[in-house]
Amino acid sequence: MAEYKAIHGFTVQNRTTDPLAPGIPGATWASGGNLNTARSELAGAGVQTAAIAFGGLVYPPRVGINELYDGTSWTEVGDMNTARSTHTGLGISTAALAVGGQTPGAVVAINESWNGSTWTEVADLNAVKQNMSGSGIITAALVFAGNNGTANVATNEVWNGSGWTEVADLNTARSDIASSTNGTSTATIAFGGGVNPKAQNELWNGTAWTEVGDLNTGRQNLAGGGTSTAALAFGGETVTNTESWDGTSWTEVAELATARYDLNTGGGGASSSLALAFGGNAPGGKQTATEEFTAAQSTDTVQNIGQVFYRSDTGDMKVTLNVLGTGAWSTGGNINTARTHMGQGGTTTTSIVFAGNAPPSSQLTELYNGTSWTEVNDMTETARDQVYGFGTQTSAISASGVTGSNGAKSKLVEEWNGTSWTAGTDNNTARQAGASAGATGSSGIMYGGNTGSHSATTESWNGSSWTELNDLNTAGSYIAGGGTQTSALCSVGGNRPDENESWNGTSWSEIAEQNTFRDQSGGAASGNTSGLIYGGEAPPYTATTESWNGTAWTELADLATATGIGSGGSGGQTGSNASALAVGGQAGPGARVATTQEWNVPSAVTNTTITD
């Protein structure tokens, strides 16, 4: 008989210490679509699947070339009015700012605004500068540091959507800097740059700058993004280093495939888990290459991160594992207006909530940066609550709902572009208090609800119109859900005692019952195999949290405050059994709350002895 090792042979490491993988377990850079024009000193904005790249140095000329990224490839669109390089970018792919920089003739203060199709010159900076960085969105931003053509500066200007105001300077004047570009005008970090040491990091709290934990590898001409509590720094000079910021310190993670500098300022929508690196200078010249950063997703119960070894000093066979905890709720920033029955989209660090009952019904919209909520432009149609919602902080949908004035059910649809709401195509059935799922504002579903009686109707959104699909097996309202257009959950509520369903993109199937029946609960899911339900009315209001793994529901840590009818029920969100937000809601009769509760599953790299 053949020996096992002759059939399945492998090499086992012989070690006398336990290895630990540095940084974020499983984080990687992968190749994306190339830019059409190789260039350096360009700016960018947006998210990993919807980014914009504008301006730059082709050599010798500076250009106004503008390209859009759809997650796969770049397409050239309308150029900037003023060709330039060493500027900075802010915003999203449909609503961005191009600020400052160097033209063929001079360092400038020029500011241009992109509306998704054309660039328009708007109010200039108070002072010329280049090689600076910034943070925020098209209506509320911050631009700081840089060089005025003669010397490095520490100046800091805040943008309110129409003009710039000088505020408190950085502690150290510097240029060629990076920042948490998805932060806000009141919360960001600024790191690296042309100072000594080049690792310096400063935190802005809306009033003043404070020095915080330095980068591990000092550098300039780098890129970055994220928020003030969760950011990335990558590239710079001739290094491949990528570092992750957790609000306190930096950790080295996966390296870029190509060492480069003078790459996209503005981060290309970088967060601590998703980012784009494009363009720049490298030893081989100016680059077209795009790389996509993805951090490990904590949806697996155990992740083997690739180390199997024999401890010769102890006689143990071991494996290096990333072991996840069971999860817990923590307190986040309060929304500005306490209310119930909101729509919701986004993630735990970039969330959006809209509409809801304060009372009365509202048109309010608020954005979350992982720390605090900011009120932005209201919805434009009739004030309402119990809406359906899905998408992201830069591309979201609000559908249907009920008006508080006369209780009329609606089929009104509005589309959010990161800055403002516009009327969209009505959905087919006027209703309220159902659930929804969708990872973007151009792809999602809405299901269930109340049309005057409980409904089982499912409708799909393709970015321009609604199509009715197969119904739920059991009609219901005040249900929870989440996921994507092709993989979603429907769980608990209304007249659906202990009946949950799974959506596979074509039809609904009944799945296992949860442990505690309730309605008006919150929900989050990444698909039909990973989800969470929390809170609701049992009655009374409950703090119970349950996790779905594709087979069964497990009770986990309770909410800090028992609530129901907040966000995540009538409006879905991008989440999973490892990540969710519970926002607002009601803790008792008439007791509306403004609290935000954040669900997180911690992980730890361990070395486990193999015993079987």
What values do phi and psi take at 52, rounded to 5? -135, 140
3-state secondary structure of 507: coil
Please give the residue that has the higher pLDDT: either 499 or 288.
288
Which of 78-82, 389-393, 524-528 holds the top average pLDDT?
78-82
Specify the pLDDT at position 302: 35
Rounded distance, CA 150 to CA 331, Å? 46
Residue among 339, 342, 340, 362 at smallest CA distance from 352: 342
Mean pLDDT of 466-472: 96
Residue type, 296: A
Specify the pLDDT at position 430: 96
Q: How confident is the model at residue 527 (pLDDT cuts 50, 70, 90)?
A: confident
Rounded distance, CA 450 to CA 194, Å? 60
DSSP string, 211-258: EEPPPSS--SS-EEEE-SSSEEEE--TT---EEEE-SS-EEEEPPPSS
Percent of the chain at pLDDT exceeding 70: 87
Q: Are residues 379 and 365 in contact, defined by beta-carbon separation less than 8 angstroms?
A: yes
Please give the residue that has the higher pLDDT: either 262 or 251.
262
Strands 62-69 and 274-278: unpaired
Rounded distance, CA 113 to CA 315, Å? 65
Strands 466-469 and 458-461: antiparallel
- For 40-99, strand residue ranges (E) read 43-47, 50-57, 62-69, 74-77, 88-92, 95-99
Specify the pLDDT at position 493: 59
3-state secondary structure of 411: strand
Rounded distance, CA 324 to CA 305, Å? 13
Mean pLDDT of 589-603: 85
Rounded distance, CA 176 to CA 265, Å? 9
- In angstroms and rounded to an integer, the radius of gyration of the C-alpha atoms of the chain is 25
pLDDT in tens, 327-352: 889 898 999 999 999 999 988 888 99
Cis before 283? omega within 30: no
Percent of the chain at pLDDT exceeding 90: 51
Mean pLDDT of 467-494: 87
Rounded distance, CA 268 to CA 403, Å? 39
Q: Are residues 534 and 305 in contact, defined by beta-carbon separation less than 8 angstroms?
A: no
Rounded distance, CA 420 to CA 113, Å? 14
Rounded distance, CA 90 to CA 52, Å? 10
Instruction: Go through the domains of the chain in sequence order and give each one's CATH number.
Output: 1-20+306-324 (no CATH), 28-294 (2.120.10.80), 328-601 (2.120.10.80)
pLDDT at 398 over 60: yes
Q: How confident is the model at residue 297 (pLDDT cuts 50, 70, 90)?
A: very low
Render the burial of 259-284: b for 16+ CB within 10 Å, e for the rest.
bbbbbbbbbbbbbbbbbbbbbbbbee
Structure tokens at 441: 């504002």
Specify the pLDDT at position 114: 96
How would you write 490-519 as a 3-class SS string?
Answer: EECCCCCCCCEEEECCCCEEEECCCCCCCE
Specify the pLDDT at position 448: 93
